[in-house]
Structure 1
Amino acid sequence: MFYLRGMTADSTLHLGQKARARGVTSNAAGRFEAHGRLAFDDGWDIPHAEALLRTEVATERPRKVISRNDSPDIPFDRSINPYRGCEHGCSYCFARPTHAYLGLSAGLDFETRLTRKVGVRAVVERELAAKSYSVAPIAIGTNTDPYQPIEQSARVMRDVLKVLSEHNHPVTITTKGTLIERDIDILVPMAAKGLVQVGISLTTLGARLSRQLEPRAPVPVRRLKTIKTLSEAGISVRVMLAPVIPALTDHEMEAIMAAASGHGARAASYIALRLPREVAPLFREWLSTHVPDRAERVMARVREMHGGQDYDPEWGKRMTGEGPWADLLAQRFAIALRKTGLSRELPPLDRTRFCVPPRTGDQLSLF
């Protein structure tokens, strides 16, 4: 099998490389690229065993780390993303198109060519210390997962958490990664002050389907254990059914919520499948590869929810869809909330504790 790639440095997938344990199998050039490349066998290569497609990590030294948004249908106005790209490789990931801004593909590049941000601690400290800064919860994990495998060694997320903890700054974290348990020593004191909430994302309870959809993310049973571990430590946890895939995972809604509730989750939310830009053809490719018997049915239902299109970006509709199926899903969710005792929202985070720690040379307050 050969792959399309963008016209970027070292961007050709060499013959003999194998995209095993990856979410997608193609790598079409990014939408801003003028050309693409197609690898083909000209008969001159010496046969050899296939080599796995390895993950490459670049570094970025950012001038700013806190990103702002004014989208009316999301509950936060600022976020931090420690990484660009995500090795979890979720085939449905709505963040894949952001790789195009780097001149890379939303396909295999997104999950194999990552960027980690360095020097983040000093940048976050500087931004929080600005006189114009007004405190509000910072959302982490809204684009790519802060606890993807690279975090084990890079520890960018841990550095960010340390700064937020020192400033008593509220934070919400969304992840599939069980590596969050490593940082429980920081999270527990923050939780005791009402400064942190965690959302654990679950798409399915099936290990096999999970491996196909999100090949390098922890299996569902392991994520349930993480919910239990965090909850028992006093950390408020929300289970996030994201995404709900029609005709594939939607039938699991009640079971996922019941399992999460049984492991200590306090709240739940859901987002219907979103297929912006390059994600739509990638996901159609995934369907034809893994569930060809249901591919047409899934996409027909998706289009039914989005006005006949693969995706409708209109605010207020993009995450829930519209129409009879979307209405039925919302009703099922409301009923499941009552049956499981889960809430739609977790208690608000405390903004009153925020402070900028004095630095060497600062004049101390008399009170």
Structure 2
Amino acid sequence: MAYDEVIYAIIRDKKSDIPSMENSSRLAIYYYLLYQRLGQEQDLQHSEALFNAQLTLALAPDSPSAATAGVVGLAWLHSNLANSLVSHKGAAQISLLDQHLLERALKLLPGKEPGVHPELWHIIRYFSQRMAIGQVREQLQMLIAELYGRNASLGATENVDEQGCWTIPMGLPGSLTSEIVLLAEVGIAGIHNELIRQQVHQRVELLLATRREIDFSDGCYSMFPVTVDKITYQPVFSNHLSLLTGADLGASLALYKAQQLLQDAELGHIAELVGLNTILRTQTAATKIEGAQFCQGAFGVVYAYAQLYSLSRHPAYYQSYKYWCTQAERWLGQELSSGHYERQPSDSLCGALGIGLMQQLVAGAEPDISWYAEAIRACLN
């Protein structure tokens, strides 16, 4: 992909910056994906150094809760790259981290407060990355039983908006749709399947209750809102198609995953209806996309279509994936010429790092799309 070396240089030249704990894991994944593509030993060394530093930090007695967001990336690296990255010492540290995070999760279990603590979702995602390991699977089973066995009606994640109102976020990540995807994956793996099915069913019902009829002629493009008021269930809609400020792409992903778990053909039909509707949205008025960046721009849309194609193998999603790759590349050239990414934090998903991660996905072969997309997903909150 064009501009690969330019983005690499921006990230490399700012390597003296002290990345956040979360972004250390993202950088480690970025350098490993580069190593997989290009075979440069220095990239593997960068990845290993970042991995080890983040692992040590996550195990520190005074490790802040913010460190938990970065452990999902560590789990992905350990699960996929053990032969290349994880030394015997690193493997022992991962086992210690498993126990540390399980203990942390049990302390975060809901009491009188409604909803699930955001940090707890990071920990569930951490264990879900490594469900193939027997001990990890047992730890995840224990956590799910403690979380939902006592409170089967536990609600979806809630946020406080700028006006101080409690809302349920709908767009990826950290939202109702991302919860559906994660819980469905846990259930599909056979962990407390019936308990998880109940949780997914509740969330799908809430999601579908927010759907509206659309009319492109009236400038109404999005089927799902970006937030829903917790008390009044008043929805807030946006025509943004992006990963963070739109909801339709995430809703389609969630419904496909729910269909796999619940074996409900109607959910598959709705997922396809929502997903294929987004394909028709290419004009700026229908997408609000005006740049390349990952969080609110074209590369986030590329990522979403990569995930939709991986789930459904529908050729229309692959065509849209290629279309948005072209759009993203065009905007990226303009943004690099203006020095946009040199003015942004190099280790941010909304800056050069997000672009760099997506460049690895786009440069990969079609059969590898799913693997690269899952690597990038491990970088999301």
TM interval, short-chain normalised: 0.3 to 0.5
1 or 2, which has the higher strand percentage? 1
Return the index of the structure with the highest Cα Rg: 1
TM-score normalized with structure 1 length: 0.32
1 or 2, which has the higher helix percentage? 2
